[in-house]
Each structure stands twice: as structure tokens, then as C-alpha cells.
Amino acid sequence: MAKIVLKGDIVFTSNKDRFETYEDYYIVAENGKVVGIYEELADEYKNYPIKDYTGKMIIPGFVDLHLHAPQYPNRGLGLDKELIPWLNTYTFPEESKYRDIEYAKKVYSNLIKDLWRVGTTRSVIFSSIHRESTKLLMDMLMDSGLGAYVGKVNMDRNTTPELTEDTQRSIVETEEIILEYKDKSNLVKPIITPRFVPTCSVELMKGLGKLAINNGIPVQSHLSENVSEVEWVKELHPELPDYVSVYNEYGLFGQTNTIMAHCIYNTENEIDIMARNGVFAAHCPYSNYNLSSGIMPVRKFLDKKVPVGLGSDISGGNNLSIPSVMVAAIQASKIKWLETDKKLQPLTSSEAFFLGTKGGGIFFGKVGSFEEGYDLDALIIDDSSLMCGNELSLEERIQKFMYIGDDRNIIHRYVRGNEVSEPK
């Protein structure tokens, strides 16, 4: 049985309302799962291998619920456009390049290194429509030791000719990846990825919904990100009452575990369906600023008990770092509260930390916290450079790291109790 003990200053959020802090404590894990947190090490654990990180913070690994791997080279490009022109001008041309496996390998190797560097131990990723480079990305992630869901994108309408798939072929290739990868790794899994309603025909969505349900495979897509997009979906589907109903009609809305990115313009009724179906919302504040999309009313989702996590949404979002996304989410919620609706209380720092750890982590199972039975996904944070010589409480130290820390403060990363070294 694999055993490990980490010693240090432990911080996590088992619920969003407060940080739990344990200064100079021990976390014990067996077979990658947390057994408990102790002030003194009981005799039975004294012969376990111990990593002494006294004076350093031990926090859960970060979870990114939404990013596009093939858009990594586009970070920072074209962000003065809104969603649809940005997709047509920048995103689709870049995503066409991934027929070329060698190109994919270069980009994905950079991305995986950077995910490791910024402490994202689990992520939920869109690849491109290309089967081979999707498999390559999954294999590379397996080699890295990081956890991920990866989806081959499906599109058969309203995109460029190079990215328009034959409907049946799109379904068959997706099924091939599912069958090949669903049991290949404990940490890297397939996810069904219709890009969004405007680029997927009814026949495609029906086929993908069936694949999801028959194989118990999760689903990810985009929802209500931009006003013109929502209008477009209404025009494409006058037979259904709203955007949510289109996914729901075809088995792509919580029939299996589902993540929807953005969720800025949903009606109350749509949010109620998300809560009822347990559909996760991935809040991507940087992307929403960059593409002038709007600000998600995240408080409404939390109040209605919709599961919420954070996403970098590379490359609509420009920043891969989840602690930075946490801060952006807090800032967005303050502007929403000030400018739009005084009932939507801004996010607190413990709430934002929760969203970027356990909030998204739950999509993976028991991930994102140090409660008993949770996977020991942990980061060791050396924040000595951030303190300016002051004595700070552990709660102040984690706030400071969120706001002014970066990857230079992350000195070790663990996934399921194993230390993960820098990917090749």
C-alpha cells in the first residue's frame, strides 16, 4: 500500500464559506487518498515516508474546468473582437492546423508543461476535431501524471470547410476514442465535446447524446456566452423554448456528468434545469472580459445550488493560472454587484478558492479538498517572498498567494499522492 505524510501549513475549503487552516500539521494519505489531518503523528503512521515542508503552505491542486488546447498559440491574439468574429478570424484557422501531428506535439508539450508549472493538477480540455492529435494529447497527459478529461471537438455546420465534419464520421471517430480510452488510464479520460449548438446539427447532437448515455461518458460544451450567439440559437431552433432545451432534448445536459462553459445569459428557468440536472457551470471571467461577452451572475448559480467551477478558457481567456482566474472572478462579481444588481453579493476569497479547487474538483470525484477519502492532489507553496517580513495568519497568506503569488511560489506538485515532476 502506497503511503505518504506531508507536513506543513495546510489550507483548503471543504465548503465555500471559510478557509480551513491547520498550521504545522500532518496530512496522512494511503493509496493516494487522504486518511486525515493531525497535529501529532500517531504511532501507526510514524514509519510512513514523510515529506517535511515546515513553514510552507500545502493546498489542493488547482482545477481548470474549461480550456482549449489547440488555442494555446493564440493566447493574447485578436481579443478586441467578440465571440463569433473571433472564432472565424483567429480560432478556426488555428484549430485547422492540428491535422499535423508534429505541430500538435509541439503545442501540447508546451501546454502540458505550463499546466504543471501553474499548479493545475486537473483540467477539462477541448482538443480540435482531429482524432489523431486528440489521442496524442491524451497520451501526453497520461505520461505527465496530471489528471484530465479530453474531448475531440464535434462540428458539422457553420464553421470553415476544413473543420466541417461528415456527421456520421464525427460520431464514429468519437466512439472510437471513447472505446480506446475509457479504461486506459485512471487519470486521463474521454469527454464528449459538441462545440456548441450553432456548429452541431440535430443529427450530430442526437448521435453524441446516445454515445454519452450508452457508454456513461461525460459531456462538455458552451452555453449562453454572447448575446448574438443566444439569438442565433433561437433562430436555428425555433421549435425549442431556449438554449438549454436544445442540449437537454438530445441527451447532452446532465444525462451524464456535464459541464457548460460561460452561462452568462441564462434565464431563471434554465438555471433551475441546470440545478435539477446537476450540470456544472464553468465560470471563465478572463474570457468574458476579453471577448466583451458579459459577466456571469455567479452568485445566482451558487444560490440555486448549481455546481460551479472556474475555467481559464484559453485562448478566449489569456491567463492559464487558476489563482489569477480566482481573482478575476472576485473582481467580476464586484462589478456585477456594483453596476447591475445589489442582490448579487460579490464572491469572497474563500468562495473563489473553493471554485478553483473543490468546486471544479467534484467533477472528477473526490478531488479539490483534503477531507478524508479525497485524492491527495496537493501543491507546496513557498510564500516567503510574498510576506515582506511580516507575520501573517494562514488565511492572510493564502489570500496573498491568490492575489500576488505565481508559479515561482509553487515548489512541488502531487496528484493522487504521487509527486509529479516537470513534464518532458
Residues that bind ligand GUN (CB under 6 A): 68, 83, 87, 91, 195-196, 222, 225, 287, 313, 316
Q: Report the nearest approach of ligand GUN to the CB of residue 153 (Å).
A: 8
Q: Report the nearest approach of Fe ion to the CB of residue 142 (Å).
A: 23
For residue 303, what are the contacts with CB-CB under 8 A and spacing of at least 6? none
List the single partner that 130 binds among Fe ion, ligand GUN, none, CB under 5 to 8 Å by kind: none
C-beta of 225 vs 375, nearer to ligand GUN: 225
Q: Report the nearest approach of Fe ion to the CB of residue 70 (Å).
A: 12
Using rule CB under 5 A, residue 229 touches Fe ion: no
C-beta of 317 vs 368, nearer to ligand GUN: 317
Stretch 286-345 residues interacting with Fe ion (CB under 5 A): 313
C-beta of 152 vs 397, nearer to ligand GUN: 152
Stretch 252-291 residues interacting with Fe ion (CB under 5 A): 261
Question: Helix-strand-coil percent breakdown of the chain, rounded to 5?
Answer: 45, 25, 35
Contact 359, 309 (CB under 8 A): yes
Residue 15, helix vs strand vs coil: coil
Q: Report the nearest approach of Fe ion to the CB of residue 324 (Å).
A: 17
Q: Report the nearest approach of Fe ion to the CB of residue 85 (Å).
A: 15
Q: How far apart are CA 271 and CA 260, in angstroms?
A: 11
Residue nearest to Fe ion (CB): 313
Contact 291, 82 (CB under 8 A): yes
Residue 326 parent element (H or E): helix 322-339
Residue nearest to ligand GUN (CB): 316
C-beta of 22 vs 196, nearer to ligand GUN: 196
Q: Taking the CA atoms of 269, 271, 276 and 279 in sequence, report the sign of the dihedral they define.
A: positive
Q: Report the nearest approach of Fe ion to the CB of residue 205 (Å).
A: 18
Contact 193, 151 (CB under 8 A): yes
Contact 159, 199 (CB under 8 A): yes
Helix ranges, 345-405 (H):
349-354, 360-361, 394-404
Q: Report the nearest approach of Fe ion to the CB of residue 86 (Å).
A: 11
Q: Report the nearest approach of Fe ion to the CB of residue 235 (Å).
A: 22
DSSP state of 155: -
Q: How far apart are CA 134 and CA 142, in angstroms?
A: 12
CA distances to 14, 79, 95 from 159, in Å: 42, 19, 11
Q: Taking the CA atoms of 190, 317, 116 and 263 in sequence, report the sign of the dihedral they define.
A: negative
Q: How far apart are CA 294 and CA 280, in angstroms?
A: 19
Residue 140, helix vs strand vs coil: helix
List the single partner that 94 binds among ligand GUN, Fe ion, none, CB under 5 to 8 Å by kind: none
C-beta of 59 vs 191, nearer to Fe ion: 191
Residue 129, helix vs strand vs coil: coil
C-beta of 225 vs 383, nearer to ligand GUN: 225
C-beta of 12 vs 196, nearer to ligand GUN: 196
List the single partner that 195 binds among Fe ion, ligand GUN, none, CB under 5 to 8 Å by kind: ligand GUN
C-beta of 212 vs 223, nearer to ligand GUN: 223
Binding site for Fe ion (CB under 5 A): 261, 313
